[in-house]
Amino acid sequence: VGTALLHSAIVVEKRDALKSWTILLAILTFALSLIGTFLVRSGVLTSVHSFAVDPERGIFILALLLIAIGGSLALYAWRAPALRATSAGLFKPVSREGAMVLNNLLLSVAAATVFLGTLYPLFLDLVGGGKISVGAPYFNATFVPLMVPLLAAVAVGPMLAWKRGDLAGVMQRLYVALAAAVAAALISLWLSDWRHALAAFGIGLGVWVIAGAKIEFASRIQLFRVPIGDSVRRAFGLPRSFYGMSIAHAALGIVVVGITASSAWQTEVIKVVQLRESIEVAGYVLHLRDVREARGPNYVAQVARIDVYRGKVLEGGPRLPLVTVLEPEKRRYPVEGNNTTEAAIYTTWFADLYVVLGDADGKGGWVIRAYHNPLVPWIWVGCLIMFFGGLVSLSDRRHRVGAPRRSAAPATASAETA
């Protein structure tokens, strides 16, 4: 909803349209932030994201939520009719404003599906329908299909003109992005198999977003159409808000590629391993060297030493090079009586190797859970780049609103009169 608000505010700034809708989005964004705080603080929702449960604090947040939402919506219902659209704010469906409306629609529906999936178990339990849990299958079936048209429109929308756009002309300018997306999807399919056809489509969609952002930049500076010196001067003349948008959209494509790859090509190995034994996962060899006891400030831990090698174990073959040493832990907090697991993670630019120490089998062995998640670092890098793009956009001088200076003329005139 916050992302929808950001894009809707651009339409208000540029075209003086969607004012009532933008105000409603602002109210909903603030309200949902309070609802999220209430859910993780009150204890009404059992989740890994819940922390510092305090029912009294939850009641305070709920009261604040009711006052904020009730007051805001009442004021909105009273004053919104005064924000009438003018003829200057009218636009055709195929335009940049139309793309923003589509963006708002898809993001709002996606937020509603997540909101429904989160709170539905609470409402069902409240009316006596029993306890259920809503997991990943629901969100994959409802959220992902909404993101596909949204991502497809990310490359198209910014290239449409305000008020009335030429969709056919934009698609002609994006043929290189389409070719890059198809090539990326086919390469992904060739490197895996037909079972991962949807994942290959997701990779292609991410490349489409990245290439679309770059082609839009090249189009703005007329790269290869005018002398390179003119293109450079045009690049320096572009507003920072455009650079921020281009960077953020390209970063979104990187995040999509990372999420798709980590979801489709994750490798998982769960096995009971004896001391001095090894397991293989995604081209790595994990050797359980030992398990020792360690004491912390308020816990007792079982700490495993796992040597990680790169390659494949061959009888009589050369010794594999040591990549890193991982030390996952199982901790017990005697005062609280809680047990926790502390995973060990080895991160490269292209994957995360995630290792968890399980329970002992009573025969000298330990359960080891190893996960290889490809391109997970790209998700974090993409988010950081997106954040950087937002900072670049905010640094645009045109977005700064200064207080008007007081004129000294009246004071001077008064002095002369005196």
For 228-287, write each residue's pLDDT tens digit. Answer: 988 899 999 899 989 999 999 999 999 999 999 999 999 999 999 999 899 999 889 999
Query: Looking at the domain assignment, is residue 56 inside a domain?
Result: yes
Average pLDDT of the segment spanning 4-26: 86
pLDDT surpassing 90 at residue 110: yes
- Annotate 193-205 with b (16+ C-beta within 10 A) or e (fewer): eeebeebbbbbbb
Band of residue 85 on the pLDDT scale cut at 50, 70, 90: low
Considering 45-59, 75-89, 384-398, the range whose residues carry the highest mean pLDDT is 384-398
- pLDDT tens for residues 17-50? 888 888 999 999 998 888 887 777 766 665 555 5
SS3 content of the chain, % helix, strand, coil (to 5): 55, 20, 25
Specify whether the backbone of 43 is left (phi greater than 0), alpha (psi in -120 to 50) or beta.
Answer: left
Is residue 212 in a domain? no
Cβ 328 vs Cβ 355: under 8 Å? yes
At 88 the pLDDT is 61
Residue 90 has what pLDDT?
A: 76
Asked whether 76 and 24 are in contact (CB, 8 A), the reply is yes
Counted domains in the chain: 2
Residue 210 located in a structural domain = no
296 part of a folded domain: yes
Question: Is 363 among the domain residues?
Answer: yes
Query: In whole numbers, what is the pLDDT of the chain averaged over residues?
Result: 85
* Residue 45, both tokens: 């929702």
Q: Please, which residues bridge with residue 369 across strands? A: 270, 356
Chosen domain end from 358, 376, 394: 376
User: What would the mean pLDDT of 62-84 be, rounded to a whole number?
Assistant: 84
- 326-352 average pLDDT score: 91
What is the span of the domain harbouring residue 276?
267-376
The C-alpha atoms of residue 1 and residue 330 are separated, in whole angstroms, by: 39
Q: Is residue 351 part of a domain?
A: yes
Angle 75-80-81 (CA atoms, 0-180°, nearest 5)?
Answer: 130
The winner for highest mean pLDDT among 163-167, 293-297, 310-314 is 293-297
Handedness of CA 285, 290, 296, 299 (dihedral sign): positive
pLDDT digits (tens, 9 = 90+) for 366-395: 999 999 999 999 999 999 999 999 999 888
Answer whether 228's CB lies under 8 Å from 236's CB.
no
Q: Judge whether 383 and 255 are in contact, CB under 8 Å.
A: yes
- Whole-number pLDDT of residue 291: 92
pLDDT over 50 (residue 417): no
Instruction: List beta partners, residue 330.
Output: 302, 341
59-84 average pLDDT score = 83
User: Shortest CA distance to 282 belongs to which of 375, 373, 376?
Assistant: 373
Question: What is the pTM for the complete model shown?
Answer: 0.84
Q: What torsion do the CA atoms of 369, 375, 379, 380 make, to the nearest 10 degrees?
A: 70
Nearest residue to 265 via CA among 324, 310, 313, 200:
200
Question: According to the model, what pLDDT value does residue 15 have?
Answer: 81
What is the spatial distance between Cα 155 and Cα 51, in angstroms, rounded to a whole number?
39
| 305 part of a folded domain | yes
Q: Which amino acid is at 5?
A: L
**Domain end point (choices 44, 62, 84):** 84
Q: What percent of the chain has pLDDT over 90?
A: 42
311: in domain: yes
Last residue in a domain, options 53, 68, 84: 84
Question: Considering only 147-156, 303-312, 331-340, which range has the smallest mean pLDDT?
Answer: 331-340
In terms of DSSP bridges, do strands 365-374 and 351-360 run parallel, antiparallel, or are they unpaired? antiparallel
What does the pLDDT average to over 137-141?
87
Whether 148 has a pLDDT exceeding 50, the answer reads yes
